[in-house]
């Protein structure tokens, strides 16, 4: 659904309400969530007795139900951001950096299955994305795609909410040029360094040019993280034109994973022919 509305709002709002009313199932639910989040659920519109008010009230109820649902994103959002903040900065090697507060914002101390983890949220709030904010978008934990759990004591990683035996390659929000990490500690250290660089770039540009209208993508996760054995992992569908192995990921194993997941035919020797 289009986010930005024209200056003459009323006809456009009624048209969008009619469009949503024609949808069913998941498409309707997704459209209602966008209506509630991007256009708001203002009291005046919500009290209307026509189709516009009915759709707005339905969107508000759908949004409230989605927020209350028990998900990894909600568990991350409910964790106290102040707890363990200094420890996270120390474990990622930036405890003495002035921007440590910003660099570690996607990470929180999470108690999960009787263990202490550092939870990194893929899709956490992007404070420097001015274009997104100007469009009326208000971040909430529904934007979180995955929560990566990292145990610094063992350098083990898991995906919150998934079975421990399920290997997976966790993708960042954007995958145009992709680094694939096999080491959780290297991934989290690269993540905080990337965010520090993003903040310094933002401060430099605003000092030179004043208020900016841009969408900074350099504060997101540094790449993909392999969780589990790559020999059993499936390469997910993505739009990455270039893929690079990073720390802890062997190039041959990564290539084999991508080729295996592509469903290409296996080349056999003539001895294996049974005609």
Identify how many contiguous H helices and E strands the chain contains and give both numbers.
10, 8
* 107 phi/psi in degrees, rounded to 5: -115, 135
Decide: residue 2, CB within 10 A, 0-12 exposed, 13-18 middle, 19+ buried: exposed
pLDDT band at residue 240 using 50, 70 and 90 as cut-offs: confident
- Measure the CA–CA gap between 110 and 61, rounded to whole angstroms: 29
- What pLDDT does residue 7 have? 47
- Measure the CA–CA gap between 55 and 132, rounded to whole angstroms: 24
- What pLDDT does residue 13 have? 80
Give pLDDT tens digits for 52-89: 888 888 888 999 999 999 999 999 999 999 888 999 99
Residue 262 scores a pLDDT above 50: yes
* 250 phi/psi in degrees, rounded to 5: -80, 135
Give pLDDT tens digits for 190-226: 999 999 988 888 888 777 766 555 555 666 899 999 9
């Amino acid at each position: 659904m289009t986010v930005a509305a024209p200056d003459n709002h009323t006809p456009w709002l009624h048209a969008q309400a009619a469009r949503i009313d024609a949808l069913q199932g998941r498409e309707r639910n997704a459209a209602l969530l966008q209506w509630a989040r991007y256009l708001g659920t203002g009291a005046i519109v919500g009290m209307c007795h026509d189709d516009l008010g009915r759709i707005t009230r339905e969107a508000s109820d759908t949004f409230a139900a989605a927020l209350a649902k028990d998900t990894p994103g909600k568990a991350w959002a409910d964790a106290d951001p102040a707890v363990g903040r200094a420890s996270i900065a120390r474990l990622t090697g930036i405890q003495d950096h002035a921007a440590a507060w910003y660099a570690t914002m996607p990470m929180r101390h999470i108690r999960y299955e009787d263990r202490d983890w550092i939870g990194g949220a893929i899709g956490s709030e992007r404070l420097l994305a001015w274009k997104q904010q100007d469009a009326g978008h208000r971040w909430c934990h529904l934007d979180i795609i995955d929560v990566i759990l990292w145990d610094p004591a063992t350098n083990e990683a898991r995906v919150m909410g998934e079975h421990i035996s399920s290997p997976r390659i966790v993708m960042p929000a954007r995958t145009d040029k992709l680094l694939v990490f096999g080491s959780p500690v290297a991934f989290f250290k690269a993540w905080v360094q990337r965010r520090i660089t993003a903040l310094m770039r933002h401060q430099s540009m605003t000092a030179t040019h004043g208020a900016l209208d841009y969408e900074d993508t350099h504060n997101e996760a540094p790449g993909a993280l392999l969780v589990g054995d790559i020999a059993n992992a499936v390469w997910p569908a993505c739009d990455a034109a270039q893929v690079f192995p990073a720390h802890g990921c062997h190039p041959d194993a990564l290539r084999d994973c991508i080729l295996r997941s592509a469903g290409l035919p296996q080349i056999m020797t003539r001895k294996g022919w049974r005609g």
